[in-house]
Amino acid sequence: MDKAPGIDDMSPRLLIADCIVQPYCNIYNNIIFDGIVPQDWKRANLCSVHKKGSRIVAGNYRPISLTSQLCKVFEFIMREVLISHLENLHLT
């Protein structure tokens, strides 16, 4: 819930509404079935976050990619499914 919105400018709070779970599920199933990721999910807003030291030295910053919230959820789901599958096959 405390994540910054990405390229889609969508608040993470929007993702927990019950009324939109089925449309998200349909989108995710289509991605898995078709093997095509939406182009917007391949884009990101980049920003620099100061790490330490002088603020005038470029090397003291790290880049942050703010990607689509829907993509982040999809990646989390896929990660959990893959880990579970690997654990069932005793490959972890």
Predicted TM-score (pTM) of this structure: 0.72
Ranges of each domain in the chain:
12-88
Quote the CA–CA distance of 7 and 42 in Å, as a whole number: 9
Q: Give the per-residue pLDDT at 52.
A: 92
The string of pLDDT tens digits covering residues 29-74 is 999 999 999 999 999 889 899 999 999 999 999 999 888 888 888 9
DSSP states along 13-44: GGGG-GGGHHHHHHHHHHHHHH----GGGG--
In terms of pLDDT, which residue wins out, 82 or 9? Answer: 82
Q: Give the per-residue pLDDT at 19.
A: 76
The string of pLDDT tens digits covering residues 3-32 is 777 777 777 777 777 778 888 889 999 999
